[in-house]
Amino acid sequence: MISRRKVALGLVASTGLASPVGAAVRTPKQTKGPFYPKTLPSESDADLVRIGNGPPATGEEIEITGRLLGLDGRPISGGFVELWQANTYGRYSSSSAASIGPLDPNFQGYGVVETDDEGRYRFLTIKPGEYPGRTRHLHFKVGGPGFESLATQMYFAGEPGNERDFIRKRIRDPEARDSVTVAFAPSDESGIPSGHFEIVVGQ
């Protein structure tokens, strides 16, 4: 079996999906929130689960794959994809609010990758915990040649808190809301839950 770290590192492996050409649903812009890291961690790679050769972070490991696409459905290569999130206890590394939950010194909490020639990216991380007022979610920011950077959030399909989450409810278009709500299933490569999140940008 391929190691989980090897799967996540090496920017992207083939997903077996053909690049689409045609109209796509623009990913809705959402708030970056107050927890974007003020200071980046010592590592900012695609594997948020381990820092160096240290022990793994606490929580359920998940894998996120996707592509960065234009409105015409064509992949955007050479773009960047940032991910930051709460740990399994619902606390961000940049938060000083101990009441939310404990810090996990083994959790990277932030990563950034460059999209490959087919617009693909991949992260290995931990399923985030909930905290007051929010359902489980991940923060993304993307940028690249020829388009304005976009901050958005990704949600987990089937979460009880989704329908009452005040930020998710700001997305009025049901199709756009569905586009940022991702189902997870065991990956054929790694055996851990994997979700596919396509990010569509454009004017």
Query: Cα–Cα distance between 159 and 129 in angstroms, integer?
Result: 11
Give mean pLDDT, residues 52-79: 96
HEC assignment per residue over the chain = CCCHHHHHCCCCCCCCCCCCCCCCCCCCCCCCCCCCCCCCCCCCCCECCCCCCCCCCCCCEEEEEEEEEECCCCECCCCEEEEECCCCCCCCCCCCCHHHCCCCCCCCCEEEEECCCCCEEEEEEECCCCECCECCEEEEEEEECCEEEEEEEEEECCCCCHHHCCCHHHCCCHHHHHHCEECCEECCCCCCEEEECCEEECC
Give pTM, 2 decimals.
0.88
Residue 3 burial (CB count, 10 A): 9
Closest alpha carbon to 158 in 180, 139, 182: 182
Q: What is the pLDDT of residues 71-107, one digit of tens each?
A: 999 999 999 999 999 999 999 998 877 778 899 999 9
pLDDT tier at 7, thresholds 50, 70, 90 = very low
CATH 1.10.10.10 given to domain 4-13+24-201: no
Closest alpha carbon to 63 in 9, 17, 114, 27: 9
Query: Cα–Cα distance between 149 and 103 in angstroms, integer?
Result: 29
Residue 54 burial (CB count, 10 A): 10
Query: Cα–Cα distance between 53 and 34 in angstroms, integer?
Result: 30
Res 145: pLDDT: 85
Identify the weakest region by mean pLDDT among 13-27, 63-77, 108-122, 169-183: 13-27
Res 189: pLDDT: 78
Residues found in the chain: 203
